[in-house]
């Protein structure tokens, strides 16, 4: 299936928007079935857990974007400043024909790379890839307004299932930013990166953003912002289940919990039931019992070191070429290539 700008020739799921924008939507077909399967498995498990990708409906994506602006969430501004510092050198070294961004979200930091591409004067296509269609379309339109030379070929998909839809190119720079790789368990992350690696040609490069281990108080504060935006984001997964699967979660009966767990070097985000309760999810014909104080895990966010990033990349068939960190060592960007 190829990306297309033409409505007449468009494969199912492709919608033409303008001559510089095309969006492929493989997610349309099976989103609900996958959500139902994952929720049934996660709520039936002991302890209960839910996959983090279901935070990101349109509201969840906007809440994540607001988290990025909270004073406690150092990750976005640290990675942004680092990218601005290194983007010129990267673009000179790679001369990308395509910038592909997995989990592109609001594509805030992408501008640092696109500015460097603009300065290089070479043509380049941008390929955002995200589960959140509204956010992808909004950010694509903004980028097209800002960069009149740019073409955008978006993919509204699940990068666990639809990576094969990435368009081919000569020298593709793949971005996976925001520390999102940390949301996967170690083996899952290696399986994912191995699939990314299998998709890469010899001249393609992967720029991976990873959050680093640091003072626990800084980590804990980042996931417990005083304005409560992270708490709203966390509870949004319950609204998604209510909306899509006719669930009856009362958000007021769950509270946000997030803490650093040093043994696994990860932040864990949970929702804790404040009372004994049974919640029905009609479309799954499920009745889920929660004891007062019981938590279900909604996200992990693993924190890395240079050694743990290098070994994760090596296990995935990738070789670390450059390691970039800011002065405070809070966050790292690593450039890798297929072995
Ligand atoms: C932590 S946010 C990072 C957003 C942005 N890259 C940044 O650095 O600020 C994770 C992003 O990945 C997207 N995402 C999560 N799981 C996904 C999946 N399985 N497939 C595609 N996109 C996914 C979310 O919609 C969200 O935009």
Q: Is the CB of 28 under 6 A from ligand 1?
A: no
Q: Is the CB of 160 under 6 A from ligand 1?
A: yes
Q: Is the CB of 295 under 6 A from ligand 1?
A: no
Q: Is the CB of 53 under 6 A from ligand 1?
A: yes
Q: Which pLDDT score, from 0 to 100, does residue 30 have?
A: 81
pLDDT tens-digit series, residues 153-169: 999 999 999 999 999 99
Q: Which pLDDT score, from 0 to 100, does residue 8 have?
A: 32
**Contact, 128 vs 157, CB < 8 A?**
no
Q: Which pLDDT score, from 0 to 100, does residue 177 have?
A: 98
Buried b (16+ CB within 10 A) or exposed e, 23-52: bbbbbeeebeebbbeebbebbeeeebbbbb
pLDDT tens-digit series, residues 39-69: 999 999 999 999 999 999 999 999 999 999 9
Residue to substitute in 60, 82, 101, 103 for testing ligand 1 pocket (most ligand atoms within 8 angstroms of CB): 103
Q: Is the CB of 131 under 6 A from ligand 1?
A: yes
**Contact, 110 vs 79, CB < 8 A?**
no
Q: Which pLDDT score, from 0 to 100, does residue 281 have?
A: 98
Q: Which pLDDT score, from 0 to 100, does residue 17 have?
A: 53
Q: Is the CB of 223 under 6 A from ligand 1?
A: no
Ligand 1 atom index nearest CA of 108 = 9
Question: Residue 289 forms beta bridges with which residues?
Answer: 278
**Contact, 51 vs 240, CB < 8 A?**
no
Long-range contacts, 117-120 (Cβ 8 Å, 24+): 117/91, 118/147, 118/149, 119/88, 119/91, 120/91, 120/92, 120/95
Q: What are phi and psi of 248, to 5 degrees?
A: -125, 40
Q: Determine the Cα–Cα distance for residues 66 and 17; give it in Å rounded to an integer.
A: 27
Task: Detail the DSSP E strand segments found in 88-179.
Answer: 98-102, 125-130, 151-156, 172-176
pLDDT string in tens for the chain (339-residue length): 222 333 333 344 444 457 899 999 998 768 899 999 999 999 999 999 999 999 999 999 999 999 999 999 999 999 999 999 999 999 999 999 999 999 999 999 999 999 999 999 999 999 999 999 999 999 999 999 999 999 999 999 999 999 999 999 999 999 999 999 999 999 999 999 999 999 999 999 999 999 999 999 999 999 999 999 999 999 999 999 999 999 999 999 999 999 999 999 999 999 999 999 999 999 999 999 999 999 999 999 999 999 999 999 999 999 999 999 999 999 999 999 999
Tokens 């740019």 map to which residue? 150
């Amino acid at each position: 299936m190829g990306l297309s700008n033409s409505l007449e020739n468009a494969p199912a799921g492709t919608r033409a928007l303008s001559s510089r924008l095309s969006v492929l939507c493989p997610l349309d077909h099976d989103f609900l079935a996958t959500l139902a399967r994952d929720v049934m498995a996660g709520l039936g498990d002991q302890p209960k857990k839910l996959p983090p990708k279901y935070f990101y409906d349109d509201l969840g994506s906007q809440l994540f974007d607001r988290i990025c602006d909270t004073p406690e969430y150092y990750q976005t501004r640290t990675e942004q400043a680092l990218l601005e510092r290194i983007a010129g050198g990267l673009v000179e070294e790679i001369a990308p024909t395509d910038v592909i961004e997995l989990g592109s979200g609001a594509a805030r930091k992408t501008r640092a790379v696109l500015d460097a591409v603009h300065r290089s004067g070479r043509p380049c296509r941008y390929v955002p890839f995200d589960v959140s269609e509204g956010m992808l379309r909004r950010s694509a339109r903004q980028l097209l307004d800002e960069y009149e030379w740019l073409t955008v070929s978006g993919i509204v998909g699940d990068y666990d299932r639809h990576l094969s839809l990435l368009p081919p190119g000569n020298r593709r720079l793949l971005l996976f930013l925001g520390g999102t790789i940390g949301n996967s368990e170690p083996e899952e992350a290696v399986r994912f990166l191995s699939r990314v690696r299998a998709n890469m040609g010899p001249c393609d490069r992967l720029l991976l953003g990873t959050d680093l281990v640091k003072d626990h108080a800084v980590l804990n504060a980042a996931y417990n912002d005083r304005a409560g935006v992270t708490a709203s984001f966390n509870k949004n997964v319950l609204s998604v289940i209510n909306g899509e699967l006719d669930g009856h979660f009362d958000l007021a009966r769950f509270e946000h919990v997030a803490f650093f767990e040093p043994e696994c070097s990860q932040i864990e985000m949970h929702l804790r039931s404040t009372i004994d309760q049974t919640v029905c999810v009609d479309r799954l014909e499920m009745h889920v019992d929660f004891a007062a104080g019981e938590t279900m895990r909604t996200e992990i966010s693993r924190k890395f070191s240079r050694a743990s990033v290098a070994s994760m990349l090596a296990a995935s068939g990738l070789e670390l070429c450059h390691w970039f960190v800011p002065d405070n060592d809070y966050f790292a960007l690593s450039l890798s290539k297929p072995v």
